[in-house]
Amino acid sequence: MSNTLFSPVTIAGVSHHLMSIPEMEDVRFGDEDAFLTRAGEWFKGVLLLQTCNRIEIIVHGSSDLLVEFLSNEKRSDWQIWEDAGALSHLLDLASGLDSMIIGEDQILGQLRKALTQSEKLGVSDPLLSMCINKAIHTGSEARRISGINRGAVSIGSAAVLLAEEQLGSLAGKHILIIGSGEMGLLVTQALAAKQLSAIYVANRTFNRAQQLAEKVRGTAVLMKDLYRYMILSDVVICCTAAPHPVIRVDDLEIALNSRKWPLDRNTEPLLIIDIAQPRDVEEEVRNLPGICLFTIDDLKKVNDNTTQSRQEAAEEVKKFLSLELDQFIRLFNRKGADELLATLHTWAESIRTRERDRAYGRFQSNDQHILGIADDLTRAITRKLLADVTLVIRSCAERGEIKLATDLVSVITRGDDICSHKRE
């Protein structure tokens, strides 16, 4: 089977493989809706996936057009996957093979969210929606048959493992979680069995903080009291969606004075793990005495320690995806042929209605029942006449015989000589 696609699809991306987290912060799209709206004017369909450690733009369009668009957006030197390579990369993404934490499940929810956002803004299209849904289904199946996510950790739970590694144990510790979104939930779930003395949850929206705190029997705190609870904590895990730093070096330096014993010149150590994107903590915070600051880049070590145990499962997933890619290409081309078939059926419908209306003029009666029968008859004849050729065109598309499928429609709708098409 040919790997030729009926319609172009392209992905441009940067990730933890190519850039550090600070470098990715510089090329992130702050206003996602505005970006998607601009991109929607260039492409039939577009989707933006922005996570803690990757940015992916998936479009129903050519690689040349996407590169030109990115240039207009002042973005360059992104990795490009096109056509069958793009579909293969999408399967790798959904299966967790390309994640910082191999096999993690969070990417599936992130893909669903990205698709929902595009559909809500009206910048997706049926072909792109099919691609994302197929990738999500394949990613779920890959985990089921391989167990690659067995024991795998999300970024949130990796942060907890890092904290445990640094402190030896989290039993009896006080932990403050800043942010109550999806990442905050993953963090609290990972902390559930750690026998903590206290979990504090802070969020810009206090009700959201309360909802998350209730799930883990923690305490919701107001953001205005953030620094007061920081100095009561042993570990602070930051995971908000704020576009600017939440913890600032000047404010934290003042608060840290309260962590000292009256006659002690040293500050009680405070472990801060920032897994937000963009970052929640100003970089200068790591220079404060007694502060141990870790970011997403440091979580790569956690992944390195767990990757080896999942290599066998990863190899099984790769074999599965190689088979799924062939099926994905067939499915893509079958769906991609819809636009070509629409041209054929529109042509046939125009002939049907024209001849039906001529027949109406020859009737001696305006009996609506008789007119309805004539309309039904012409519809049935047209449908039956197109049934076989529709099947042939879809079959050509699935096999990647794009030119043959296009030539067939041209021969039927425009009366072109198919022999001349064969000679071209």
* CATH code, 124: 3.30.460.30
The number of distinct structural domains making up the chain is 3
The chain-wide mean pLDDT, for the chain, equals 87
Q: Which two tokens stand for residue 421?
A: 């098409």
315 located within any domain: no
Q: Are 382 and 349 in contact (CB under 8 A)?
A: yes
Averaged pLDDT, 378-403: 85
pLDDT digits (tens, 9 = 90+) for 321-334: 999 999 999 889 88
Averaged pLDDT, 118-124: 97
Averaged pLDDT, 350-367: 85
> Do 132 and 171 lie in a common domain?
no
58 located within any domain: yes
- Encode the chain in three state secondary structure: CCCCCCCCCEEEEEECCCCCHHHHHHHCCCCHHHHHHHHHCCCCCEEEEEECCEEEEEECCCHHHHHHHHHHCCCCCCEEEECHHHHHHHHHHHHCCCCCCCCCCHHHHHHHHHHHHHHHHCCCCHHHHHHHHHHHHHHHHHHHHHCCCCCCCCHHHHHHHHHHHHHCCCCCCEEEEECCCHHHHHHHHHHCCCCCCEEEEECCCHHHHHHHHHHCCCEEECHHHHHHHHCCCCEEEECCCCCCCCECHHHHHHHHHHHCCCCCCCCCCEEEEECCCCCCECHHHHHCCCEEEEEHHHHHHHHHHHHHHHHHHHHHHHHHHHHHHHHHHHHHHHHHHHHHHHHHHHHHHHHHHHHHHHHHHHCCCCCHHHHHHHHHHHHHHHHHHHHHHHHHHHHHHHCCCHHHHHHHHHHHHHCCCHHHHHHC
Alpha-carbon gap, residue 209 to 184, rounded angstroms:
10
Last residue of a domain, one of 277, 300, 323: 300
pLDDT(422) > 60: no
> Do 41 and 170 lie in a common domain?
no
Last residue of a domain, one of 129, 152, 175: 152
312 located within any domain: no
69 pLDDT tier (thresholds 50, 70, 90): very high
Which CATH number characterizes residue 243's domain? 3.40.50.720
> What pLDDT is recorded for position 46?
98
> Do 177 and 93 lie in a common domain?
no
**pTM higher than 0.95 for the full model?**
no
> What pLDDT is recorded for position 306?
61
> What pLDDT is recorded for position 321?
95
> Do 287 and 365 lie in a common domain?
no
pLDDT digits (tens, 9 = 90+) for 4-28: 788 899 999 999 888 877 788 788 8
pLDDT(262) > 70: no
> Do 217 and 135 lie in a common domain?
no
For residue 81, give its domain range.
10-152
> Do 55 and 139 lie in a common domain?
yes
> What pLDDT is recorded for position 277?
80
Q: Which two tokens stand for residue 67?
A: 């590169």
> Do 53 and 162 lie in a common domain?
no
305 located within any domain: no
> Do 83 and 106 lie in a common domain?
yes
pLDDT(123) > 60: yes
> Do 279 and 259 lie in a common domain?
yes
What is the Cα gyration radius of the chain?
28
Q: What percent of the chain has pLDDT over 70?
A: 92
> Do 58 and 73 lie in a common domain?
yes
338 pLDDT tier (thresholds 50, 70, 90): confident
128 located within any domain: yes
321 located within any domain: no
Active-site annotation, residues:
52
> Do 118 and 173 lie in a common domain?
no
> Do 192 and 89 lie in a common domain?
no
423 pLDDT tier (thresholds 50, 70, 90): very low
313 located within any domain: no
